Amino acid sequence: MTKKQILSPLKKYLLLKEVHGGNSFSLRPYQKIISMIDNGVLWLEEWSSETLLNTEGVSKNIAGILMEIVEKGTFDKLEELIDKTPAGILDLAQLKGLGPKKIMALWMDSNITTPEDLILACDDGRLAKAKGFGAKSIESLRESAIFWTENHFKEHWADAEPIAERLMAKVKEILPTASIALVGDFAMDLPEISALEMLIGSLTPISTHQQVTAHEDFTEAPKTSGPFTFRGKVAGISLPTTIHFVNQADFVAEKFKRTAMPQHLNKAGKSGQSLRMVLEEKTFENEQQIYEAAELPFIQLPMRNGTHEWEWAQQFKAEDLITTAALQGPIHNHTHYSDGMNSLQEMADYCIAKGWKYIGISDHSQTAAYANGLSTERVLAQQAEIDELNASFKDFKIFKGIESDILQQGELDYPEEILKTFDFIVASIHGNLSMDLETATNRLLRAIENPYTTMLGHPTGRLLLKRAGYPIDHQRIIDACAEHQVIIEINANPWRLDLDWQWVNYAVSKGVMISINPDAHVTTGLDDMRYGVKVAKKAGLTIKDTFNAKSREEVAAYFAERKSRIQ
């Protein structure tokens, strides 16, 4: 099981107990075990009652609950609480600014039990009459509730991937000889997936449709479906699912239509015919033939966005596009010095095993007390350990960095005598996120102008499907990074993917380097770089414009040269 699968039922139980007025003393064992699992103090490759009972700090009661979660994904005490609670209460808990006590007050005093109820109460004035809710908090809660209603049914691409694989496996089991492809948002590598879309080609599409819907796992919605389209639910698939059934001869053309934006399909070639027009004229054996028929250069997925792909094709070839294989090492990573789970040695060993040539370590800075940010003394201790490890490596290097909080006025989070000790500095905003566009932009600009800022981290602070992030003037920020030669990261954590892919081309056009950073807090988090590569490829990022596609020697020289200009 994943950490999330273990922790989620425990956290739900804590929340619901507090909503129901449970006393804090009785909840301490649960809080303790959550902390142990969260911080890596307790984690087992093979969960068993015997092992848990022999683990320090784990009581017989907690061991039993953990084994229930392992066996069935939940536990009886939690299910009893859920049965006594309106279903929307857990949804309200997803909203920023609502803790258990306020949720209980909304439920008991105003009968508000869902985000939709909350929006209505904000609009009709009821919430303004409730105790503890001022005008600003009401506005913030309303925005948060609207964001939730628009996004709660979606999945991050990374979470949609195993769901899509399950759907593919189910359909292949029913139709082992059919042509099957995932299309739509998932195939186009969009960061957020609202539904799964599949295409099936066969000689008899209507009977193939009937064959699928006859299976017990597929429940069709008759009002929205048709003879050539299934819309409905699939057992074990959490996302809404649409399946299109087409004649085998039309499979290539239909797949192409459903993996390209309308603006891309409307592009006309030398003959004056658009891609959409040639698709209507004949059948195709492959996608290359489609572009040839329209007299247009081939554009690979996922770049068929209707943005700048045609200009890109005039300058570059497919082999110029960034790939995971081209990356030489991950920058922006955390260790147990701050809020990471692994040691410097463990992070380095993981990178070496993957064939990477370096790692950048950028633990949280001192202001980030919530993340065990590094004091000056701990910075120096970490750097001494890095020096010792680097002396033991032959073809690998750890670069000394920090993820410096950008403070309220745009300052970096250490005095100059400490800032100058790092090889590089990732500057990021973590606190005081409620800013208007001008405030947020100016705060970032001041950090970018600081000569010690090497790289701008997750520029908008967004968490996809959770919070929108603070508004920024992307153009001004990118222009400033170009002027001050500051690298911008694509934070590859699937919850962030920030810088957004739609701004990458503008950044590159201004001469800004892009670094695909995993922001890893555990060794396996280093593999998140592949999600950053997906959106970078969507934007058309090339190997030459990717900072961490540079060699170890090139990165070292870049950091050294940049520091020399400050002295």
Tell me the pLDDT tens digit for each residue of 236-246.
999 999 999 99
Q: Determine the average pLDDT of the residues in 176-190.
A: 97
Burial degree of 84 (CB within 10 A; 0-12, 13-18, 19+)? exposed
d(CA 32, CA 51): 18
Pairing between β-strand 455-456 and β-strand 487-491 as defined by DSSP bridges? parallel
What pLDDT score was predicted for residue 472? 98
CATH number of 324-564: 3.20.20.140
Amino acid residing at 254: E
> Comparing C-alpha atoms, which of 42, 72, 47 is closest to residue 58?
42
55-60 long-range contacts, CB within 8 A, separation 24+: 57/32, 57/33, 58/33, 59/29
- Alpha-carbon distances of 167 from 124, 231, 233, rounded to whole Å: 43, 13, 11
Q: Which residue did the predictor score with more confidence, 52 or 513? A: 513
User: Is residue 245 within 8 Å of residue 209, measured between CB atoms?
Assistant: yes
Which pLDDT tens digit goes with each residue over 42-95? 877 677 888 888 888 889 999 999 999 999 999 999 999 999 999 899 999 999
d(CA 533, CA 54): 43
Pairing between β-strand 155-156 and β-strand 229-234 as defined by DSSP bridges? unpaired
Largest separation between any pair of C-alpha atoms in the chain: 76
CATH superfamily ID and name for 155-320: Beta Polymerase, domain 2 (3.30.460.10)
Alpha-carbon dihedral 11, 496, 236, 16, rounded to 10 degrees: 20
User: Is residue 358 within 8 Å of residue 538, measured between CB atoms?
Assistant: no
What pLDDT score was predicted for residue 553? 98
User: Is residue 167 within 8 Å of residue 234, measured between CB atoms?
Assistant: yes
Domain ranges of the chain: 3-151, 155-320, 324-564
Cα first-last separation, the chain? 51
Per DSSP (E only), the strands in 294-446 are 358-364, 397-405, 424-428
Average pLDDT, the chain: 95
> Comparing C-alpha atoms, which of 455, 410, 456, 452 is closest to residue 431?
410
Domain 3-151 grouped into CATH 3.30.565.10: no
Which pLDDT tens digit goes with each residue over 360-392? 999 999 999 989 999 999 999 999 999 999 999
Residue that has been written with the tokens 């039309």 in this structure: 250
d(CA 65, CA 34): 12
d(CA 387, CA 431): 31
d(CA 520, CA 182): 29
Amino acid residing at 486: V
The token duo for 204 is: 């008899």
Residue 179's CB: how many other CB atoms inside 10 A? 14
Burial degree of 297 (CB within 10 A; 0-12, 13-18, 19+)? middle
What pLDDT score was predicted for residue 414? 96
* H or E stretch at 344: helix 344-353
User: Is residue 359 within 8 Å of residue 351, measured between CB atoms?
Assistant: yes
d(CA 447, CA 455): 10
| Partner residues linked to 192 by β-bridges | 156
Residue 215's CB: how many other CB atoms inside 10 A? 15
d(CA 400, CA 337): 13
| Partner residues linked to 285 by β-bridges | none
Dihedral angle sign, alpha carbons of residues 222, 224, 230, 236: negative
User: Is residue 246 within 8 Å of residue 254, measured between CB atoms?
Assistant: yes
Q: Which residue did the predictor score with more confidence, 42 or 153? A: 153
Percent of the chain with pLDDT over 90: 86
Which pLDDT tens digit goes with each residue over 411-463? 999 999 999 999 999 999 999 998 999 999 999 999 999 999 999 999 999 99
